[in-house]
Structure 1
Amino acid sequence: MGRQPCCEKVGLKRGPWTIEEDSKLVDFILNNGIQCWRLVPKLAGLMRCGKSCRLRWINYLRPDLKRGAFTEAEEDMIIELHSRLGNRWSKIAAHLPGRTDNEIKNHWNTRIKKKLKLLGLDPITHKPIEHESDQEIHHNMEFQEPEDCQILQQKTEEALISGSNQAKNECFVKNMEMGSSLMIQNLEPMESFSVDSWMDSPFLWDGFSNFGESFL
């Protein structure tokens, strides 16, 4: 079974409240206090449902409502409470006298959430927004030597078969770039590096020898 409606909807007025309706509701509550909201419309002489009267009073008419922009202290309080309570706006409003749950929710969605993102904080977890780690970035950009060498070798063979000077020139440049990259990766650490050991490296001369043979 569904929840029982607060009142019969037939013949009730909908839409914006008038000044006269606001005056009737305020006068009734100030003189009689807040009773059962289902009985308030009939006793106050209003053609509204009880829920509409309750929301109108709580969000717009009660005397202790706080008007105007939220202060910095209020925003800090909302952020702190939201980190513990989440989107339980009515419970958050209980800690902010004069502010309604609907008002706090709207302010959160339109201002505070954007403010947290600018500060690098996740508005849901209130923790720093995680970015891809330097290690993952390095791994993604890592030079794939075997695969690149295989592709370059295939292109070089195609260039030699085609006999195109332009293709040969492009492959020569790629070979030079590949050779430079491989030589840098195979260099010893700087503290043990010497010009003589580098010049005597068989890898260096084999590499240049292979480049020359490819274009004879």
Structure 2
Amino acid sequence: MGRKPCCDKVGLKKGPWTIEEDKKLINFILNNGQCCWRAVPKLAGLLRCGKSCRLRWINYLRPDLKRGLLSETEEKLVIQLHSQLGNRWSKIASYLPGRTDNEIKNHWNTHIKKKLKKMGIDAVTHKPLLPSMNEDQQLNEQPQKQKMDENDGSEIEFGIDEVPLIQPHEILNSLSSSSSYSPSSSSSTTCLSLNNKTLGQPIDDQLLSFDWENFWGDDYNFSLDLLIDENSLFEK
């Protein structure tokens, strides 16, 4: 079941109010006071709906009506009442003399909502706004982009400490497991062979007891001849 209409709308006037209609409504209410709005049109001699008379009086004709934007104190009161009552504008308007529910609602949507958003407050829940996921991702990506830009303009430097150092005994141990050297071969790897007797000796003894003649082959004899010739020159 729907709500019963306030009056029969057959033959009633619609559209903007005229000055004569405003005068009739003002004179009736000032002389008789506010009564049942359904009976006001007949008693005031108006061909209007009771709802239309009520809205015309409350929003435009009542003498205590305030014009203009809401003040700061009124805005604070509206925010406080909205946090408790929600969008019950008529109830909120009852706490602000001279202000209409429609005026307060329009001011809320056009001014107060934007102010609350700038302050970081949700206009519905009146709680601080939470940052969105996109903003968090952008904040996390900014430092990473800065690091990438810095690395692009800088040269890569290698430290000496990063290169592993090979000890002499490691070389000798690796050589002991390899085959003998052939000077005529074209391979890029050089292989040395050590006797089993020299493996347990200190590094210096291993180097002295190593068979360098077989290692260098013909080049060893050639180098010895050069050394003998040079020494004979110095002796002379």
Q: CA deviation at 1:95?
A: 1.1
> Matches of 1:50 and 1:99 in 2, distance apart?
21
1:54 maps to a residue whose letter is R
The residue number in structure 1 matching 2:11 is 11
Residue aligned with 2:59, SS: helix
CA deviations 1:140-196 (Å, max 9, x no partner) are 86xxxxxxxxxxxxxxxxxxxxxxxxxxxxxxxxxxx9xxxxxxxxxxxxxxxxx77
Q: CA deviation at 1:132?
A: 4.1
| Aligned residues of 2:59 and 2:100 also touching (Cα < 8 A) | yes
> Matches of 1:34 and 1:86 in 2, distance apart?
28
Q: CA deviation at 1:55?
A: 0.9
- Of structures 1 and 2, the one with the larger relative CO (CA 8 A, separation 6+) is 1
* 1:88 is aligned to 2:78: no
2:43 maps to a residue whose letter is L
Return structure 1 stretches of 4+ with deviation > 6 angstroms: none
Q: CA deviation at 1:200?
A: 5.2
* 1:37 is aligned to 2:44: no
The residue number in structure 2 matching 1:124 is 124
**C-alpha spacing 1:132/1:47, structure 2 compared with 1 (3 Å):** closer
CA deviations 1:100-139 (Å, max 9, x no partner) are 11110010011111111122211111112111479x649x
The residue number in structure 2 matching 1:109 is 109
Percent identity between the two aligned chains: 70
Q: CA deviation at 1:33?
A: 1.3
* Higher percent of residues as helix: 1
Query: Cα RMSD over matched residues?
Result: 3.0
Q: CA deviation at 1:34?
A: 1.4
> Matches of 2:78 and 2:107 in 1, distance apart?
10
Q: CA deviation at 1:35?
A: 1.7
The residue number in structure 2 matching 1:47 is 47
Q: Could you list the runs of 5+ residues in structure 2 that have no partner in the other structure?
A: 142-151, 153-158, 165-236
> Matches of 2:67 and 2:121 in 1, distance apart?
29
> Matches of 2:132 and 2:55 in 1, distance apart?
46
> Matches of 2:60 and 2:43 in 1, distance apart?
20
2:19 maps to a residue whose letter is I
Q: Could you list the runs of 5+ residues in structure 1 that have no partner in the other structure?
A: 142-176, 178-194, 202-216
The residue number in structure 2 matching 1:24 is 24
| Aligned residues of 2:6 and 2:50 also touching (Cα < 8 A) | yes
2:117 maps to a residue whose letter is K
TM value normalised by structure 1:
0.63
**C-alpha spacing 1:41/1:119, structure 2 compared with 1 (3 Å):** same
Pairwise mapping of residues 175-186 of structure 1 onto structure 2 (< 5 A)? none
Matched residues, number: 153
**C-alpha spacing 1:120/1:28, structure 2 compared with 1 (3 Å):** same
TM value normalised by structure 2:
0.58
1:33 maps to a residue whose letter is G
Q: CA deviation at 1:84?
A: 1.4
The residue number in structure 2 matching 1:59 is 59
1:99 maps to a residue whose letter is R
Q: CA deviation at 1:38?
A: 1.1
| Aligned residues of 2:37 and 2:53 also touching (Cα < 8 A) | yes
Residue aligned with 2:53, SS: helix
Which structure has the greater CA radius of gyration?
2
> Matches of 1:92 and 1:5 in 2, distance apart?
26
> Matches of 1:25 and 1:78 in 2, distance apart?
30
